[in-house]
Amino acid sequence: MGDRLRRLEECNRVVSDEVEPIAWLPGYPAELTEQAFLDDGTPVVFRAIHPDDAARVERLFHRLSPQARYMRFFTSIARPSASMIRYLVTLDYVDRLAIVAEIRGEIVGVARYDRLAAVAPPAVPMDPAEAEAAVVVEDAWQGRGIATRLLWRLSSAAVNRGVHTFTATILAQNRAMMRLLTVLGENMSTELSGGEYTVKLRLAGAPPPRAEQDAPGDSAHP
Locate the domains of the chain by residue range: 2-206
Q: Provide the b/e sequence for 65-88 (b: ≥16 CB within 10 Å).
A: eeebbbbbeeeeeeebeeeebeeb
Q: Please check whether residue 158 is in contact with residue 166, taking contact to mean a CB–CB distance below 8 angstroms.
A: yes
The count of residues in the chain is 222
Quick one: pLDDT at residue 112? 95
Task: Please tell me the distance from the alpha carbon of residue 120 to that of residue 126, in angstroms, as a whole number.
Answer: 8
Q: What is the pLDDT, as a whole number, of residue 186?
A: 67
Tell me the C-alpha to C-alpha distance, in Å, between residue 73 and each of 170, 171, 173, 221. 10, 10, 14, 50
pLDDT, residue 21, reads 46
Give the separation between CA 85 and CA 51, rounded to whole angstroms: 9
What's the pLDDT at 172?
Answer: 74
Give the per-residue pLDDT at 25.
Answer: 72
User: Tell me, what's the pLDDT at 217?
Assistant: 41
Helix extents (H) in 52-173: 54-63, 66-73, 82-89, 116-119, 146-160
pLDDT at 182 (0 to 100): 74
Cα dist. 98→29, 114, 117, 139 in Å? 11, 9, 17, 19
Sign of CA dihedral 212, 97, 72, 82: positive
Quote the pLDDT of residue 187: 80
Exposed (0-12), middle (13-18) or buried (19+): which is 212, by Cβ within 10 Å? exposed
Q: Outline where DSSP puts E strands in 21-179.
A: 34-37, 43-48, 96-103, 106-115, 130-137, 165-171
Q: Considering the entire predicted model, what is its pTM?
A: 0.80
- Whole-Å CA distances, 70 to 64, 67, 76, 78, 171: 10, 5, 6, 10, 9
Going from the first residue of the chain to its last (222 residues), give the mean pLDDT of each consecutive group of 10, the final group possibly shorter.
37 38 72 95 97 94 80 68 91 96 96 91 86 92 93 94 90 76 76 82 80 40 32
- What per-residue confidence (pLDDT) applies to 107? 97
For the domain made up of 2-206, give the CATH fold: Aminopeptidase (3.40.630)
Sign of CA dihedral 182, 88, 196, 167: positive
